[in-house]
């Protein structure tokens, strides 16, 4: 039964999800069943919040002379194209928004700044890192975000800050809003890494106490999740570096230092993911060493038993020869003498082994 369960134990399906990605094949994205559009139109004095079941009502906020954040939850090709056409977003960016398994990146196309990256979540039930692609478009006095999953995101603290009149985000331009969104996404990486760190600590104790196939399976599973983590964090460095070096008119010089702060956080997260990877490699080495140690213990016991039985085997073989005359062969006490010798010699050998510290 232990052998039959190994495929399920090691989660080969997860490996296929991580590695079988072909960027030359156009992926098929399922259309969202429903689309929600949330609009936050604000300036330093006031804030308007709106929720729509379609995207068309959002278009009237383009010329509101205030800063607008339009958050579209659920992706449909027609809706994304309609929004992008109305806000002058290039068709190439539409393809990136609708893409699947896209590498995080930043582009400047026809007066807008485009960021694509993944929000990460930790599934407590499966112990896996889940990702959700988010596209952020920064334009003149507007920010548009496209999310795949309408049920969750990491922007609730941002919404709360928008409702505070004296908050810094209400006093700044749209690029500061873009910074705040990227900052929340990156900060959430640390929450996911904290969960993975707890799993790694538990696994390390398990490997030390009990080395078995289940521990090896958990090592393999956690290494796969670290691949997901590193795959999503590493490209964000280039994304933020591109924003910092950009000379776009959409970016205020005062906001550059905030993007540098997010860049520092990403570098810290990347270094931490590398540390986690080193810990997992060391843990796998520890597992192998423990297995070898157990095997050496077994081989040592078997070797000792073989050595202890060797004198009895030799004595029994000698007196089992088919010669007519063998000393003590017909002695009344010959059997007892042979058995005594067979017992005395192994006891003496045990004393010698113990004295030399062989066990």
**Dist CA 259 CA 11 (whole Å):** 38
223-252: pLDDT as tens digits: 888 888 999 999 999 999 999 998 888 998
Q: Compute CA 239 distance to the chain's CA centroid, rounded to the nearest angstrom.
A: 20
**Dist CA 146 CA 134 (whole Å):** 6
Residues 117 and 141 in one domain: yes
Among 262, 289, 316, which residue terminates a domain? 289
Per DSSP, 60 falls in state G
39-68: pLDDT as tens digits: 999 998 999 999 999 999 999 888 888 999
326-347: pLDDT as tens digits: 777 777 777 788 888 888 888 8
1 belongs to a structural domain: no
H-run or E-run covering 142: strand 142-147
How many domains does the structure of the chain reveal?
2
90-149: pLDDT as tens digits: 989 998 898 888 889 999 988 899 999 999 999 888 888 899 999 999 999 999 999 988
Residue that wins the pLDDT comparison between 24 and 130: 130
Residues 255 and 345 in one domain: no
Residues 21 and 90 in one domain: yes
Residues 146 and 229 in one domain: yes
Instruction: Kindly give the residue spans of alpha helices, DSSP state H, lying in the chain.
Output: 6-10, 12-19, 77-86, 91-97, 156-162, 168-171, 174-209, 213-245, 253-319, 334-355
| Residue 216, pLDDT above cutoff 90 | no
Tokens of 210: 């009990």
């Amino acid at each position: 039964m232990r052998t039959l369960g190994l495929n399920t134990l090691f989660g080969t399906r997860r490996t296929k999800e991580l590695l079988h990605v072909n960027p030359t094949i156009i992926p098929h994205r399922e259309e969202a069943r429903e689309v929600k559009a949330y609009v936050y139109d604000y300036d330093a004095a006031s804030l308007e919040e709106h929720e729509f079941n379609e995207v068309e009502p959002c278009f009237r906020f383009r010329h509101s002379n205030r800063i607008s954040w339009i958050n579209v939850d659920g992706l449909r090709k027609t809706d994304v194209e309609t929004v992008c056409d109305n806000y002058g977003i290039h068709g190439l960016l539409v393809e990136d928004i609708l893409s699947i398994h896209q590498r995080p990146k930043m582009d400047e196309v026809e007066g807008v700044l485009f960021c694509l990256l993944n929000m990460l979540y930790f599934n407590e039930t499966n112990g896996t890192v889940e990702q959700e692609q988010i596209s952020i478009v920064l334009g003149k006095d507007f920010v548009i975000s496209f999310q795949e999953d309408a049920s969750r995101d990491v922007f609730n603290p941002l919404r709360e800050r928008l409702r505070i009149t004296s908050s810094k985000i209400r006093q700044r331009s749209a690029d500061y809003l873009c910074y705040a969104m990227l900052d929340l996404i990156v900060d959430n990486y640390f929450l996911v890494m904290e969960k993975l760190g707890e799993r790694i600590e538990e696994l390390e104790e398990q490997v030390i106490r009990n080395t078995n196939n289940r521990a090896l399976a958990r090592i393999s599973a956690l290494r796969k999740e670290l691949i997901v983590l590193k795959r999503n964090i590493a490209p964000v460095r280039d994304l933020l570096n591109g924003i910092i070096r950009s000379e776009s008119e959409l970016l205020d010089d005062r906001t550059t230092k905030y993007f540098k702060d997010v860049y520092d956080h990403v570098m810290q997260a990347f270094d931490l993911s590398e540390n986690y990877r080193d810990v997992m490699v060391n843990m796998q080495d520890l597992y192998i060493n423990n297995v070898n140690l157990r095997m050496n213990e077994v081989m040592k016991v078997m070797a000792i038993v073989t050595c202890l039985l060797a004198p009895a085997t030799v004595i029994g073989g000698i007196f089992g020869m088919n010669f007519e005359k063998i000393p003590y062969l017909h002695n009344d006490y010959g059997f007892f003498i042979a058995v005594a010798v067979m017992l005395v010699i192994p006891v003496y050998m045990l004393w010698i082994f113990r004295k030399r510290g062989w066990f």
